Structure 1
C-alpha cells in the first residue's frame, strides 16, 4: 500500500470562485466509520446552486510516522477514468498515475487539466445537493477519498452567479468550503446639463451623469454603460473572458452612434468589439412592451485577449469597461406637463459575462435603469378676458431660449408645435415659417419637447384692433431622480414652472379722426364762439350810435 500524502498536498487546490475553509472553520468529525463525512459549500451570491459530487479515488485513512493522517490504498472511485481508458471501480490506482499526479503544478487551470484526466465527467455523480446563501447545503455521508465538486451549469445559465469547481480530500472530518461572491456588475447612466442634472443626495455629478435627465426632443445626449470586473485569482483562472452588454432603449429613444469603448480608460479599436446597433435605430418599445429582447448588443468576445494585445491597459484590482453612445428622444417619447411618479422613457442594460472557467457558461446581472423626461407647455390666446368663448385666433408668437436665440420648430399632424431637430421623423411634420406659431380658432398653440429652462415668448403678429402683448417668461423647473430601489423614477415640477399659460390681448383705444365725433365737437364749439363774438360786436356798435 502506497502512502499518498505527497500527492494530496499537490492536489490541495481551489478552482474558480471558491476557497476551502481554514482549520478554524472546519467542523471536526469522529474517527472514520462506515457512515463517512460530509462536504458543505456556502454560496455567497443570491443564486440557488446545485452541487454535483464526483468520486475520483477512495482510500483508507492511516497515520504516518509523524502522526499525521493520510490516505493510503488508493483505488479508483465511482466517477474515475484513466485518461481515455475506462477503469473498474475499486481496482488499485496504478503507480504511474500516482507518480504523474505528484508533478502537478502551475496555475489552477493547468492543475485542473491534469487532474480531470482521471474524472469521467459524463458519469452520474455520487451525490447532488442544493445550497443557498440563506440555507447552505451539504452532501450525504462520503467515505474517505478524493472528490470533485462542481456547480450544475444548467442551473446557473443566465443567472447572476459564478460557477464553482473544487477538489477536496475527505479524511476524518467534515469539509466546509465557502464560495466567493465577487462577480461583475453593470451600471447605466445618462448625461444631463450640469445646471439641471440629477441631485443625488444634494450632490451633482460634475459632468452631469446620473440615473435620470431631461432633454429637448431631437437633442443629442449621451448614455454611459459601465461594467466592473473584479481582478483576483478567480478571474485569472479563466482562459478567456466574454462580455455582452444588452442595451434596451425605450420606443422614444433613437440610437445615433457609439462614441467610445474603453477598458480602464484606454480606448479600444472598432475591431475589438461587435455592436449590433445601427444609426437611426429606435428602441424596442415602451415599458412592458418588447422588453424581453435587447434593442442592441455590444460584445467583447475575449476581454483577456484584447487586454493582452493592448499593452497600454493597466490592470489593478478591477477592470472597468465603459461604453459611451449618443442618442436622442424622438417623436414617440412621453412628454410631461405636470409632476409624475413614472415615465415610459425608461432605458435599461444588463451584462452577460463568463461565469465558469472550466466550461462554457454565461451569467447575467440584473438590469440597471435610467429615466428620461421632456416637457410640453400649453398656451391659449384670449381677447380681453381669459374665459370660454373669448379665444382669439390669428396671433403669432416666437419662442426664444435663455440666450435669446429663436427655438426652431416643426408642426405635427395634430397642429402642435414641436421642438425641431436635424431631420424630420416623417413627412407628417412640416416646417414652420419664420418659426412663428399662429393661434388656432380655439386660441391654442402648444409647444412639445422642451427641456428644463427659461424661455421668452414674444408676440410677433398682433391681431387687428388689438394691442401687442408684453413678452412672456416661460419657466420649466423640474427635480427628477431615481426612486429608492431603482425600479422607477419621479419628476416634480417646482412652483416656478409655468406650464399652462393664458395670454390675453386687449382691444385698442379709439382716437379722434376726420369725420368722426371729435371734429363735430370742434365745429359746434367754433360756431358758438363765432356767434358770441358777432353779438358782442353788434352791441358795441349800437351803444356807440346812441351816444352820437
Structure 2
C-alpha cells in the first residue's frame, strides 16, 4: 500500500510538472468571427500565460516586457490589476469588479501613443472568419482598423473573438426648391442658394470621425454648417469646421473623439449646409455625357486608421434656351428687344447680363450691383435675332417684347417659355439666316406698304381718272348725237 501510495503521489506531481511545461511550450490561436472585408486586424500580447488549469479556472500571468510601463502606470496598477514581483518575473492578478472595457480602451490608446508594434496583424481580403495561428499563449488585445476595440481575452490555447464593429457610412442629398424634398439631384438658377444635407450612420466606436465635402468650383460654400442628432442641435464644441484642407475637399467637419466615443452604433448625425450656384455654373448640355454638365457635390467620411466610406454625390442642374426672332417665312430678323418675366402678366423681371455676343445669363446680386439705373434691378434688355439665355431653373418663364424690328408689328402679349429637365437649343440653316427647329421661335408679322406722294400709286390714280373722263366725254357726245 505504501508503494502504491508513493506511485500515486509521483503521478500527481508529474502531472503538475507536465501542465506547467505544456503551457510554456504550446501555441494557441485567435479566430476573428465576422471579420469585415478589406479591414485590418492587430493583436497585442499584454500578459504572458505561464501556466493554467482550465478545469479549475486557474491562470498564472506575467507582464509582457513590452507592456511593463503600461502595467506599472498609476492609472492601471491598483485600479485594474495588482502586481507581484517574484523570481525575476512580475505576476499579474485581475482586481475583481474592474471594468474590462475601460482597461482595453486604455491599453489600445497606450499602444497607439507609444507606437507599440503588434504581435501580429493582417488585412482581411474577404468577409468571414479569420484565424491568427501559432501564437504564444497570453492575454491578448485585438484591435481593428474600423476604429473600435474588438476584444480582449486569453488564449488557452484557442479563443474566438466576434467582430462587433460596423463601418461608418454617409448619404448625401440636395433640396429641390420647387417641392422642398431632398434627393440625389435638383434644378436651380444661377445665384440661387442650394441646400444640402449629409446623413452619417456611425459605426460602433468610430474613431477619428471626419466628414469631407468637395464641391465643384461652380458652387460657393456659405460656411453655415449645422449638425443635428434627431431633433437636437449638436453643440459646436463637439466638432470643428475647416476650409483649409489637404485632400482637395471644400471643407471638413471633424468630430472630437470624446463625442464620437459617446455615440451608439447606427446613430444618425445630420450635417446641414448650403452653397450658392455661381456665375460660372455648368449649363446643361443635351449632347454631353450624363453627368458631365452637372454641378456636383461629393461627400465621404474618414474614420479609424485611414479608413474611408464610399462617396455619395448629388447633381445640381441649370438650363438654357435659344430665342429665335423670325418673320412669318422663318427668316431671322434683328432689332427686337425683350425682358424675361416670371409671370404672364405683371410679375417681376428676371435680371440678365450679357456675357458674350448673342449670349445672356441670369445675373448674380454682385453683378447687378455693378450696373446702373434701371439695369440695377431689371438687368439688360435682350437684343434678338438668335440669342441664348442661360442659368435658368426648371420653370415657366415669359418673354415680353419691348420693341419690334422696324417694319414689324409688336407682339400684343407675352410668350410662354417652358423649361423642362433639359436645355432647349435651336437649329438654324447652314448660313444661320433661317430657323429650322428647336428653341423658342417668336414671329413678328409685317403690314403692307401704303402708297406715298409722287409714287406709282399717284400716277395710277391719274391714269384711271383720265380714262374715266375720256369715257364720260364719249358717252356725252354720243347721247347728244342720238338726241
Q: How does the TM-score come out when normalised to structure 2?
A: 0.74
Q: Give a deviation string over 1:298-351, Cα, whole Å, max 9, x none.
A: 3343563998xxxxxxx9874332232222221222112415412352211222
- For the Cα contact (< 8 Å) 1:58–1:77, is it kept in 2? no
Output the CA distance in 2 between the equivalents of 1:112 and 1:276. 29
Output the CA distance in 2 between the equivalents of 1:34 and 1:403. 92
Output the CA distance in 2 between the equivalents of 1:336 and 1:116. 51
Q: 1:46 aligns with which of 37, 54, 58?
A: 37
Output the CA distance in 2 between the equivalents of 1:273 and 1:117. 24
Partner of 1:486: none
Partner of 1:341: 290
2:222 alignment partner, SS class: strand
Output the CA distance in 2 between the equivalents of 1:517 and 1:225. 78
Partner of 2:251: 296
- For the Cα contact (< 8 Å) 1:127–1:140, is it kept in 2? no
Output the CA distance in 1 between the equivalents of 2:386 and 2:109. 77
Partner of 1:256: 222
Cα RMSD after superposing both structures:
4.3
Q: Shift of residue 116 of structure 1?
A: 9.6
- 1:177-326 correspondence to structure 2 within 5 Å: 177-194=161-178, 207-229=180-202, 234-235=204-205, 243-258=209-224, 260-269=226-235, 273-277=239-243, 292-301=247-256, 304=259, 318-326=266-274
- For the Cα contact (< 8 Å) 2:62–2:90, is it kept in 1? yes
2:449 paired with 1:510: yes
Output the CA distance in 2 between the equivalents of 1:220 and 1:116. 44
1:424 alignment partner, SS class: helix
Q: Give a deviation string over 1:4-57, Cα, whole Å, max 9, x none.
A: xxxxxxxxxxxxxxxxxxxxxxxxxxx979443211224543333142331513
Partner of 1:109: 102
- For the Cα contact (< 8 Å) 1:410–1:419, is it kept in 2? yes
Question: CA distance change for structure 1 residues 542 and 228 in 2, over 3 Å: closer, same or farther?
Answer: same
Q: 1:379 aligns with which of 323, 333, 357?
A: 323
- For the Cα contact (< 8 Å) 1:58–1:76, is it kept in 2? no
Output the CA distance in 1 between the equivalents of 2:86 and 2:122. 23
Output the CA distance in 2 between the equivalents of 1:72 and 1:252. 66
Partner of 2:309: 365
Q: Shift of residue 189 of structure 1?
A: 1.1
Question: CA distance change for structure 1 residues 33 and 54 in 2, over 3 Å: closer, same or farther?
Answer: closer
Query: Unpaired runs of 5+ in structure 2?
Result: 1-21, 78-82, 426-436
Q: Give a deviation string over 1:38-81, Cα, whole Å, max 9, x none.
A: 11224543333142331513132335xxxx35344444445452
Question: CA distance change for structure 1 residues 403 and 268 in 2, over 3 Å: closer, same or farther?
Answer: farther
2:277 paired with 1:329: yes
Question: CA distance change for structure 1 residues 499 and 338 in 2, over 3 Å: closer, same or farther?
Answer: farther
2:460 paired with 1:460: no
Output the CA distance in 2 between the equivalents of 1:69 and 1:60. 12
2:386 alignment partner, SS class: coil
- For the Cα contact (< 8 Å) 1:474–1:499, is it kept in 2? no
Partner of 1:437: 382
Q: How does the TM-score come out when normalised to structure 1?
A: 0.66
Greater RCO, CA 8 A, separation 6+: 1
Output the CA distance in 2 between the equivalents of 1:80 and 1:453. 68
Q: Shift of residue 132 of structure 1?
A: 4.1
Q: 2:152 aligns with which of 167, 171, 175?
A: 167
Question: CA distance change for structure 1 residues 411 and 168 in 2, over 3 Å: closer, same or farther?
Answer: same
Output the CA distance in 2 between the equivalents of 1:116 and 1:329. 44
- 1:381-530 correspondence to structure 2 within 5 Å: 381-382=325-326, 385-386=329-330, 391-402=332-343, 404=345, 405=347, 406-424=349-367, 431=375, 435-439=380-384, 443-468=385-410, 472-478=415-421, 500-530=439-469
Q: Shift of residue 512 of structure 1?
A: 3.8
- For the Cα contact (< 8 Å) 1:76–1:88, is it kept in 2? no
- For the Cα contact (< 8 Å) 2:299–2:311, is it kept in 1? yes
Output the CA distance in 2 between the equivalents of 1:118 and 1:409. 62
Output the CA distance in 2 between the equivalents of 1:260 and 1:118. 35
Partner of 2:432: none
Query: Unpaired runs of 5+ in structure 1?
Result: 1-30, 196-206, 279-283, 285-289, 308-314, 356-360, 479-490
Q: Give a deviation string over 1:82-129, Cα, whole Å, max 9, x none.
A: 4159999995544xx42xx23242461156549999999766544444
Question: CA distance change for structure 1 residues 189 and 402 in 2, over 3 Å: closer, same or farther?
Answer: farther
Q: How many residues align?
A: 434
